[in-house]
Amino acid sequence: MKKSDKPVDPSRRKILKGVSAGIVGAYSITPKLNAKNLPQDISDSIEGKVKLTLTVNGKKISKGIKPNTTLAEFIREELHLTGTKLVCNQGECGSCTVFMDGNAVYSCHLLALDADGTDVLTIEGLLDKDELHSIQQSFVDEDGLQCGFCTPGQIMSAYALLKNNSNPTDEEIKKECLVIYADAAHIPKYLIPLKMQ
């Protein structure tokens, strides 16, 4: 008997029938579930998204996001606030620091969903209209920008430090604001004004 003459095994035929029914089922169900009049949470979950609500720089924001989105990705890619920088992207350098509910956090190392319901401040939110915040001004005055890439992270770390401790010691400034310069023996000039705020 040739291979093509061989009768199809009934159990295999049954399986194939089942698979195609599953595909057809998926196509016929999807459009209905995507209908606009469905509640938001159902249509979000179909696209693999969940709802995130938080306040960023004083504005309340509600968006559907993929659950694995980090806070840094959300801030940069969804809100287009690119002042928050990604360097190591693994919670080591501090360049992505933002201020969340009273504390400095590494936004690359936090899921955006962990920020649900919180109040987040990014470097863009420090500006008061066109006025630089005093910490930003001290970086300018003391020429502390260097290449500038990690500057937002350092400024946000300094902001968080001063919010929680108005008279930090040299050691506290080094610990909180010099993650990138962990070996620095002295406090750079641009951080000295922090001691006089």
The residues of the shown chain that bind ligand FES, judged by CB under 6 A, are: 86-89, 91-96, 106, 108-109
CB of 68 to ligand FES, least distance (A): 16
CB of 135 to ligand FES, least distance (A): 19
155 near 140, Cβ under 8 Å? no
Residue closer to ligand FES (CB basis): 25 or 91: 91
Strand-pair category, 50-56 with 119-121: parallel
CB of 91 to ligand FES, least distance (A): 5
65 near 125, Cβ under 8 Å? no
Distance CA 86, CA 88 (A): 6
Residue closer to ligand FES (CB basis): 109 or 133: 109
Distance CA 113, CA 71 (A): 8
159 CB-contact burial (10 Å; exposed 0-12 / middle 13-18 / buried 19+): buried
Residue closer to ligand FES (CB basis): 43 or 118: 118
Residue closer to ligand FES (CB basis): 92 or 119: 92
Residue closer to ligand FES (CB basis): 60 or 80: 80
Contacts of 126 (CB under 8 A, 6+ apart): 132, 133, 135, 136, 155, 156, 159
106 CB-contact burial (10 Å; exposed 0-12 / middle 13-18 / buried 19+): buried
CB of 122 to ligand FES, least distance (A): 13
CB of 149 to ligand FES, least distance (A): 10
CB of 94 to ligand FES, least distance (A): 5
Distance CA 46, CA 157 (A): 38
Residue 42: strand, helix, or coil:
helix
Residue closer to ligand FES (CB basis): 150 or 173: 150
